Amino acid sequence: MKRSLIATATLIALGVGGATWFVQQRLPQRSGEVAITGLKAPVTVRYDEAGVPHIQAQNEADLYRTLGWVHAQDRLFQMEMMRRLSRGELAEVLGPKLLPTDKLMRTLTLREDADKRAALLDRNAPSTQALQAYLDGVNAFQDSHPAPLEFALLGIPKRPFTTADTLSVTGYLAYSFAAAFRTGPVLTQIRDELGPDYLKAFDLSWAPDGAVAEGERQATAAGFPAAAAAATPKPSAALLQPADKHALAALGQLSDAALAEAQVPLLEGSNAWVVAGSRSASGKPILAGDPHISFAAPAVWYEAHLQSPGFELYGHFGALNPMALLGLNSQFGWSLTMFQNDDIDLVAETVNPANPQQVMVGGQWVNMSERTETIQVKGQAPVTLTLRRSPHGPIISDALTTGHELTRPIAMWWTQLVAPNPAVEAFYQLNRADTLAKARQAVEGIHAPGLNVVWANTQGDIAWWAAAKLPQRPEGVNPAFVLDGSKPEADKPGFHPFSSNPQEENPARGYIVSANHQPAAATPVPGYYNLWDRALRLDRQLRDPTQRWTATTTHALQLDTETTYAQRVLKPLLPRLVELVKAPEEQALLQQLAQWPGRYDMELTAPTIFQQFLYELAREAMADELGGDSKDGAPPTPFSNLRRTKALDLALPRLAADANSPWWDKRDTPAKETRDDVLKAAWAATLQHLRATP
């Protein structure tokens, strides 16, 4: 027995020792000397207390090679998963559950597009050489170190990282901000099945002087009347059949599920603003940026401080990208928000009854191209995927699983697949853009996704550019709807010049605000813009000419949680609820809502009540027309997609103000319900949910 115990103890000790050795071999190195293949001269890396590397190199190639090495040391598994996500290779290591995600990514043709772009890169360009040096550093770390624990657990083989991998991830990021898959199908269904009276609630019009000015007008008006929707002529025949609505909802849900299954965080919305020296206490511009990205481990951003002769930058980097997407130094800095422009059109194709490989374009039957790709699936046989492409783009509906077939194939026209989009070169130049002219020229090369670049330098210049390649569309075409591929409405004659993009340089007002809202522009830029409330709140705070901003007051404004959105929704509804609700405890809750200034402070209960009421109001008003909310694996519905769009956020204040909207009447009952009926039901559902929630 004693020998047995000794043997067992020895085995346990060996196991613990082996596990300790296994983990220690994979810990990042923060001190000492390291030999990195390919360095031309010694490089110094100093880590600060937050774990941020500060890299000093004697030449640019060594700088980026070392950045790649330290980035891989901390984030190699993240790099691998982003590569596999963007290239449709997750099922190979994560199993069949990720097969729908891989199918979607292959159907988007991200890998095909990235491979073509990589082959066209100018290998002598400094930006390409910087990218290659960075990837050489990533590969040098991978080749000389044990794979991360996740590689061993999932059986992931090591493979070199290439420029095509970087461009695949760049393409994926461009796709991840697109809202067309959720918004276009449901708005098309509302237009074709329900009619223009239902569409009135949705804000499809363009405010030429911008959303902030429009918000100011609405906020100071007596009430919030529902404005008429923009002209959206209904086609002579419904573009899509009623049977298509669930398939289209599945397409929208597949798009979201692909991101959720891969556990990739999203940019939820962002703020950035800059004040000129005339508005600051120091006499120099102050730039504030706070991109909103959902929580993730590891984080999306990788911070690093780079220094080489003639170049210095503290930046925030993404996986497999050596160019900082956000950055600053002692001379200039910039931040980003999402432009939210619509750069994806969904196009319903008309198929030749005599030849299913042809579609009608320009009055003629045109052949679709077709090719196959093979997806490796862990634990299963490989899956062969047929990818079709019409003249408008890849047939994105082919990503749907069996049982969700559409009566017409849906193609995707996407700026990312059409425009040159030299993003690597653009951000390489933006990382060095210390003058207004250099920054403007760099930003012009950003084609997709659309980004607002807010920039300032110590010379006193401030600027904002809406960076995107904006397509020209036929007059009167609204890409918020699915377009008819057999008609000219789906045509794109070309792109607008960058000079016509929304932008400002050193405006007389002395400040610039960017908060994902619709910008001021003479030429409409269709998009899925956020509510104007954040932008209006910032504008009101910044417009005071007597205020002299400091870093402290700017930080306080970043932490501000007040919004006018709740007041816009509640203003026409609270008086009715006060009349309809009789219970004293419920009257007390309504009083809290009435006195609530719109701040989302943690100690307040009003924000929780309002957010739940907002959901219940939308569900009670719209679920009978658009299907209930999809939960627990239920088939997707148009409503489940709509509630994840900006379109619903924009619609609810207008709907709340319109007592005669047809949305209030429930189509599945013989009675004619009113706004009061829906309000009572939504309020009761709100309280029921909150009382049942611990």
Instruction: With residue 624 as reference, give the H or E element that holds it.
Output: helix 606-626
Supply the pLDDT for residue 181.
87
CA 522 – CA 209 distance, rounded (Å): 8
Residue 421 inside a domain? The answer is no
Supply the pLDDT for residue 632.
54
Q: What is the tens place of the pLDDT at every residue in 352-374?
A: 999 999 999 999 999 999 999 99
Residue 568 inside a domain? The answer is yes
Supply the pLDDT for residue 235.
56
Residue 614 inside a domain? The answer is yes
Supply the pLDDT for residue 402.
64
Supply the pLDDT for residue 293.
78
CA 498 – CA 467 distance, rounded (Å): 8
Strands 344-348 and 483-484: parallel
Radius of gyration of the chain (CA): 27
Strand ranges in 318-361 using DSSP code E only, listed in sequence order: 326-328, 332-338, 344-348, 351-352, 355-361
CA 459 – CA 465 distance, rounded (Å): 18
Considering Cα of 58, then 59, then 62, then 65, what sign does the dihedral take? Answer: positive
Tokens of 583: 């219970």
Supply the pLDDT for residue 227.
40
Name residues whose C-beta falls within 8 Å of residue 603's C-beta, 6 or more positions apart in sequence: none
Q: Sheet with 311-317: list strands edge to edge.
A: 44-47, 53-56, 302-308, 311-317, 326-328, 332-338, 451-457, 462-467, 503-505
CA 94 – CA 377 distance, rounded (Å): 8
Tokens of 453: 């670049």
CA 563 – CA 368 distance, rounded (Å): 49
Supply the pLDDT for residue 102.
95
Instruction: With residue 576 as reference, give the H or E element that holds it.
Output: helix 574-580
Distance in Å from the first CA to the final CA of the chain: 53
The count of domains in the chain is 1
Instruction: With residue 169 as reference, give the H or E element that holds it.
Output: helix 163-176
Supply the pLDDT for residue 222.
45
Supply the pLDDT for residue 180.
86
CA 597 – CA 567 distance, rounded (Å): 8
CA 371 – CA 244 distance, rounded (Å): 26
Q: Sheet with 511-514: list strands edge to edge.
A: 286-293, 267-275, 511-514
Residue 179 inside a domain? The answer is no
Tokens of 535: 């932008």
Residue 619 inside a domain? The answer is yes
CB 261 within 8 A of CB 98: yes
Residue 476 inside a domain? The answer is no
Tokens of 27: 């810990």
Q: What is the tens place of the pLDDT at every residue in 547-600?
A: 999 999 999 999 999 999 999 999 999 999 999 999 999 999 999 999 999 999
- Alpha-carbon distances, residue 173 vs 81, 94, 267, 448, 449 (angstroms): 13, 21, 10, 9, 7
Supply the pLDDT for residue 292.
82
CA 507 – CA 522 distance, rounded (Å): 17
CB 332 within 8 A of CB 457: yes
Q: What is the pTM of this model?
A: 0.93
DSSP 26-79: TSPP-SS----TT-SS--EEEE-TT--EEEE-SSHHHHHHHHHHHHHHHHHHHH
CB 340 within 8 A of CB 527: yes
Residues of the chain with pLDDT under 70: 1-26, 219-237, 259-268, 402-404, 631-634
Hey, is 578 helix, strand or coil? helix
- Alpha-carbon distances, residue 598 vs 281, 370, 530, 607, 617 (angstroms): 30, 53, 17, 8, 18
Is the backbone peptide bond immediately before 298 cis, with ω within 30 degrees of 0?
yes
Is the backbone peptide bond immediately before 572 cis, with ω within 30 degrees of 0?
no
What is the extent of the structural domain holding 587?
563-692
Residue 526 inside a domain? The answer is no
Supply the pLDDT for residue 231.
46
CA 113 – CA 447 distance, rounded (Å): 15
Tokens of 383: 């899956």
Residue 366 inside a domain? The answer is no
